[in-house]
Amino acid sequence: MPEQSPAPHRRFESRTVLVTGAGTGYGAEIAVRAAQEGARVAVHYRSSAAGAEQTVARVKDLGGQAFTVQADIAVHADVIHMAEEVFRRFGGLDVLVNNVGDMVADQTSWRDVTEESIDHVLAVDVKGTMLCVHEFGSRMLEQGHGAIVNIGSTVIVRGSARAPQYAAAKYAVLGITKSYAQALAPVVRVNTFAPGFIETERLRSRADWKAGRREDMIAKTPMGRIPGPAELAGTALFLASDDAAHMTGVYLNADGGFNMIGA
């Protein structure tokens, strides 16, 4: 299967999309895919300015429109400023994809957990996600429409002996999703998309991934492979499309059958 699945149709023609953490990895691919499907795109970054500019350049190469916006999503004032800037430049916002998250990639065991790491992961993955949903969601409510996709993880199914603070944070994203799905309904839909392992550059650089975990995961995955980030970009955006118009508060996973969640 190709790394970039073909866009079947332009689901986001004339719509506006903000993707957080879109300077690198999965976020960059979601932003580019949104542009391929007709969206004007805001590319958020915290410190990857060069990466964000590269994402914007990729969008423009497609003939699309994009701009960068900087914020530390764990700081409320930054999120407010970002929301104001995005709504001002776009004149509104149709879709927010909360992609930013810290999976503690350098940690190899639960024994390495530190208070500093716990505080950081919870600040970014939980507080940051909640602040973005709150600020953008309230503005979407006022404008009369909108869709929010929080990027979760299938780590919540089995937990993580490697990084329990990451599993705890991603589980909290479900609470945020369901709470705001109720609070903002029926005007704004809020859902969680949970990919399994995605073979980003960051994952490929992890010591455990290079020491046999990749092969072990492939062997345990019915689909028999680990996808790259571009392949699952359109899947995340599905939850913001008209095809998902009756979906809110949902946890949708795409992990090649590794977990097979359900009754």
Write down the catalytic residue from 26, 166, 180, 251.
166
Tell the burial category of 81 from Cβ atoms under 10 Å away from its Cβ (0-12, 13-18, 19+).
middle
C-alpha torsion 201→230→92→89, nearest 10: 60
Whose CA is closest to 226, among 238, 214, 235, 234?
A: 214
Q: Is 25 left (phi over 0), alpha (psi -120 to 50) or beta?
A: left
Cα Rg for the chain, rounded, in angstroms? 17
Distances (CA, A) of 97 to 116, 159, 227, 240: 27, 24, 20, 9
Beta carbons within 8 Å of 173's beta carbon, 6+ residues apart: 125, 126, 129, 150, 152, 192
Active-site residue flag, 171: no
Q: How far apart are CA 212 and CA 195, in angstroms?
A: 21
Whose CA is closest to 17, among 5, 27, 26?
A: 27
Contacts from 181-186 at CB under 8 Å and sequence distance 24+? 181/248, 181/249, 182/249, 183/137, 184/137, 184/140, 184/141, 184/146, 185/248
Question: Do the Cβ atoms of 243 and 183 come closer than 8 Å?
Answer: no
Question: Do the Cβ atoms of 83 and 8 come closer than 8 Å?
Answer: no
| Catalytic residue list | 166
